[in-house]
Amino acid sequence: MKLLNCFAFLLLIDCTVPNAGHYSFITPFPKARQDELGVVAQDPDGFDRSQFHQKLSADIVTFLDSALNAKPYQNFQPTACLVN
Rounded CA separation 72/14 (Å) = 17
Please write the tens of the pLDDT for every residue from 4-34: 445 555 566 778 899 999 999 999 999 999 9
Reported pTM: 0.70
66, pLDDT greater than 90: no
Average pLDDT of the residues in 37-49? 94
State the pLDDT confidence band at 83, using cuts at 50, 70 and 90: low
Helix, strand or coil for residue 82?
strand
